[in-house]
Amino acid sequence: MSVPVPPRFQPLLAATAELAERFADAGYQLYLVGGCVRDAFTGAELESPDLDLTTDARPEAIEELLGRYADVVWTQGKRFGTIGSRRGSQIYEITTHRADAYHPDSRKPVVEFGDQIDEDLARRDFTINAMALRLGAVQLIDPYGGLEDLLAKRLRTPLDPEISFEDDPLRMLRAARFLARFELVPDPELVQAMTSMGERLSIVSAERIRDELDKLLVVPVCAPGLRLLVHTGLAEHFLPELPGLALEQDPIHHHKDVLEHTLAVVDKTTPERILRLAALFHDVGKPRTRNFVDGGVTFHHHEVVGARMTKLRMEALRYSADDVETVRRLVELHLRFHTYRLGWSDAAVRRYVRDAGDDLERLNELTRCDCTTRNANKARTLARRMDELEARIQELSAEEELRAIRPDLDGEAVMAHLGIGPSRTVGEALNFLLQLRLDEGPLGEAVARERLDAWWAERQQA
């Protein structure tokens, strides 16, 4: 259908005008497609500054046309029909019309090139992403009602959802992200297909699932998407710890729904990937540690159990070792704040800061957001105590370099002073000096040597 070009589309048209002319002169049609078209209608910030385009030209022709236009061209995706390029600061990804589909037992799509834009759009994930803007004689191509769905806040697939999810099962996870980002309501048929086709997710690589989970978690309000994954049973196939938090409600003890608490904590945190992952996993140890005692419920050491569970799940999803260790440590430390109910000694502050390391700000935010109580007085008390802790950290940081706390002597100095060579004993001596440093603050080298002598003499007599 022909529509007036809204002003918000003008930057997109300006960025592609010369490119579109080149393709037209060569006898090809070029279209902006997908997220940039959708986001131009919503006024939302583009998910990516890179522009996605589709064309009836085959990859070889795309490469030739871009070679005379772009500063840089890359062809890693050529066998899938995609040629990438950059001109100035603008990146273009141009793909031949295609219809991707998975074989029933394959993790890699079979690519078939096409000539018609409607056929290409039919194989897109959702109608809101199945809109294209024809360049040159500008025209919106919207054969599946994506704009209407966007306005009506409806999430649908262009074809039957069973066909769409059979073609690419990862689209079931994408449904959660788009639902959350644009506050959409999924069609019942889409929900039913997600519910019945969860096993199909097994052919998708852990890396692709991980990347899609990350994209969902950085949506400002992502809890609705996470709820959809739990409600449809899809989470059971890649993140069973999440539905596992929906502990059976006990009419006697009335303990909180840990799942809903977790979702609330996730949404309260800054939409930053690592912090959101820590919020997602912070209470996963509760189901395994739940115990009913004296008319109440306890979850003793759930942070320790949860840290182990977090490590195993993130490794299964192929997160990097650095990501795994950071999130694991945040989960393990998220209750540390509550262990100092009687006040923070200097030693306690030093240990808290040293153990948090570079993730101190993340740990503090996670701790604050972990308070979801409806009791206003309790919430104010916890916030005040956190304010006091952060003030103490600033005070001590002005006096000491808390994040880089080291023993007053290094390994070379310990070996020279005690007259020993490299051994486990050196590590034990350094740990002794480190504990002194944490407990008492900077000692200075002279005092450190005196204390080391006393430790060594006691050790020799043992």
Q: What is the pLDDT along the chain (462 residues), one digit of tens a residue?
A: 455 667 788 889 999 999 999 999 999 999 999 899 999 888 877 666 789 999 999 999 999 999 888 999 999 999 889 999 999 999 999 999 986 555 665 556 566 788 889 999 998 999 999 999 999 889 999 999 999 999 999 999 999 999 999 989 999 999 999 999 999 999 999 999 999 999 999 999 999 999 999 999 999 999 999 999 999 999 999 999 999 998 754 444 444 588 999 999 999 999 999 999 999 999 999 988 888 777 677 788 899 999 999 999 999 999 999 999 999 999 999 998 887 765 778 888 888 888 888 899 999 999 999 988 777 888 888 888 888 888 888 877 765 665 567 777 888 887 887 888 888 888 888 888 888 877 777 778 888 888 888 888 887 876
Q: Distance of alpha carbon 439 from its chain centroid, rounded?
A: 37
Question: What values do phi and psi take at 44, rounded to 5?
Answer: -75, 155
C-alpha 77/C-alpha 192 separation (Å) is 34
Give me the helix-helix angle, 206-217 and 273-281, nearest 10°.
100
| CB-CB contact of 149 with 155 (8 Å) | yes
Going from N- to C-terminal start, the domains of the chain cover: 7-152, 283-404, 411-461
List Cα–Cα distances, 258 to 35, 86, 155, 376, 431, in angstroms.
35, 47, 28, 20, 38
C-alpha 66/C-alpha 73 separation (Å) is 7
The pTM of the full predicted model, rounded to 2 decimals, is: 0.81
Which pLDDT score is estimated for 102? 57
**CATH (residue range 7-152):** 3.30.460.10
| CB-CB contact of 54 with 19 (8 Å) | no
List Cα–Cα distances, 61 to 27, 52, 82, 421, in angstroms.
11, 17, 11, 69
Which pLDDT score is estimated for 1? 46
Q: How many CA atoms within 13 Å lie on the side-chain side of 198?
A: 17
Q: Which tokens belong to 111?
A: 């690519």
Q: Distance of alpha carbon 43 from its chain centroid, rounded?
A: 24
Q: Which of 181, 191, 190, 216 is nearest to 317 (CA)?
A: 216
| CB-CB contact of 333 with 304 (8 Å) | no
Exposed, middle or buried: residue 303 (CB in 10 Å: 0-12, 13-18, 19+)? buried
